[in-house]
Structure 1
Amino acid sequence: MRSYGFLLCLPLMGLPVWAESPAADAEREALEKWFEADTSEPPVVINEGQLDFLATAPAGEALHHHQNKVKITPESLLEGWAHLEQCHDNLDQAAAMQITFRDGYIRDMKITEQRNIGKAWVEGSSLQLSKVGADARICLQASTRALRFQDDGSYALLNGPYMRKFLDGYYPMQVSMQIEYPADLLKVAAVTPAAQAGFTVKQQPGSVGFDALFEGELRTSIQFEAL
């Protein structure tokens, strides 16, 4: 059984975690500094850390798949809040687990689906899970303060770090993101990391997303320009 070594509070998207360790405070502080950093700089400044993209999935292993759908509306451009749908498939088996969000950046969270989980409930800005079994699935809906307004009039959506970690090692995982936005009000300026083997970017007017297969820590940035 694999578990997660420390608690993460993420800017936007939740990640399942197992237990808090002494490294948690330092990790949260680092995340806060990264999240509050000036994103008006080109997105290439994002540190990908120990990120290692995988061209193909490991054979014989059902990977944890973290799936997100974010809908940006005209109101989101004024308030920063957007609609979030999130699912996790193939969670690692554990007696207890939690999916956490950054305080103040999530509201109206509710569970929409669960499978092979003894109990799941919303507690503050987190989703608590107990008795997570094989082939487990959990889905939720919420409002998320997704967009950051920048001084030059553009917008940034930052996600991560996504990781699947046990002790000192990272294990493969898959993250999918789909973002809907008003094509008459916004256009995509940049997606970071750049498209490559293991990180596929999909774009069309009004929609942008990616599918990532990796080990390590993944941070992403999607920059929008106002029309």
Structure 2
Amino acid sequence: MCKVFYWVCFLGLSLPASAEEPAAGASREALEKWFEEDTSTKTKVEDINEGQLDFLKQAPAGEAIHHHQNKVKITAESLDEGWAQLEQCHENLDQVAAMQITFRDGYIRDMQVTEQRNIGKAWVEGSSLQLSKVGENARICLQARTRALRFQDDGTYVLVNGPYMRKFLDGYYPMRVSMQIEYPANLLEVGTVTPNNQPGFAVQQQEGVVGFDALFEGELRTSIQFEALGL
């Protein structure tokens, strides 16, 4: 396996690597440089997406797709501090020697692993989660506090995520992303959800809960806007 990575919103950047690639403990600068390096010998891959966003009506037959799942809980305190509770899971990870899920510095705290399957070792290192010996049908879950909510000049709040992507060499492959956000319905109401509800991007909403389930190739960016009630 050569260059493989998933960019999974500001909540996580997953950086798989083989034995010949940067180790899990490599610096962010080294990893970014590694991603940008031109590869002299490239594998010919057919039927790949080259960057545009394409929503998929159904998953490709016989393929286990990386499923990135998030549950975010916004409380009354989150409106003042911006910090929210996060539960995150990754399923169907690629089988690699080493991987790290790296979070944006200053936007994550109190991270801990809550579940793992078919992974040799998983540990928290700074603002990243390090994985080694990722096997078949692997799963990893964590919980943390995330500084996810942004206050806007117009008095609204917004939760912005992305870009999500699953990339191999120069192409993009199918990925599934699920998001569920709990919020205090007596303090907030949902405004605009972007992208719009459509095949491949299903928006789910009920009182106090909003989210989406996306199946796509390419790069996905999302935003959910909330309007304050009586604040």
Question: Does TM, normalized by the shorter one, top 0.5?
Answer: yes
Paired residues for 1:87-126 under 5 Å: 87-126=89-128
Distance of 1:9 and 1:67 partners within structure 2: 10
State the distance in 2 between where 1:92 and 1:210 align: 24
Q: Is 1:143 the counterpart of 2:141 in the alignment?
A: no
Q: Secondary structure at the match of 2:92?
A: strand
**For residues 4 and 24 of structure 1, what CA distance do their matches in structure 2 show?**
9
- Measure how far apart 1:160 and its partner are: 1.2
Q: Deviations over 1:55-109 (max 9, x none)?
A: 0100001110000000000000000000000000000010000111100000000
DSSP-derived class of the 1:22 partner: helix
For residue 46 of structure 2, what is the aligned residue in structure 1? none
> Deviation digits for residues 127-184 of structure 1, max 9, x if unmatched?
0000000000000000000100111110010111111100101010100000000000
RMSD: 1.9
Output the CA distance in 1 between the equivalents of 2:104 and 2:70.
Answer: 16
Distance 2:136 2:180 in 1: 26
Whole-Å separation in 2 of the counterparts to 1:134 and 1:225: 43
On the 8 A contact 2:181/2:209 being kept in 1, the answer is yes
Change in Cα spacing, 1:69 to 1:111, as seen in structure 2 (3 Å) is same
Q: TM-score, normalised by structure 2?
A: 0.83
Match of 2:4 in 1: 4
Q: What SS class does the counterpart of residue 107 from structure 1 fall into?
A: strand
Q: Unaligned 5+ residue runs, structure 2? A: 18-30, 37-50
CA contact (8 A) 1:2 1:92 kept: no
User: Structure 1 unaligned runs (5+)?
Assistant: 26-48
Structure number, greater radius of gyration? 2
- Distance between the aligned counterparts of 1:2 and 1:209, measured in 2? 34
1:16 has 2:27 as partner: no
Whichever residue aligns with residue 17 of structure 1, its letter is L
Taking the aligned partners of 1:5 and 1:80, their CA distance within structure 2 comes to: 28
**Aligned residues: percent identity?**
77
Give me the whole-angstrom Cα distance separating, in 1, the residues matched to 2:90 and 2:178.
10
Q: CA contact under 8 A between 2:8 and 2:14: conserved in structure 1?
A: no
Tell me, in whole angstroms, the C-alpha distance in 1 between the residues paired with 2:205 and 2:134: 35
Q: TM-score, normalised by structure 1?
A: 0.85
- Alpha-carbon deviation of 1:18? 1.9
State the distance in 2 between where 1:9 and 1:190 align.
21
Distance in 2, matches of 1:102 and 1:160, equals 12
| Alpha-carbon offset, residue 15 of structure 1 | 3.6
Aligned length: 203
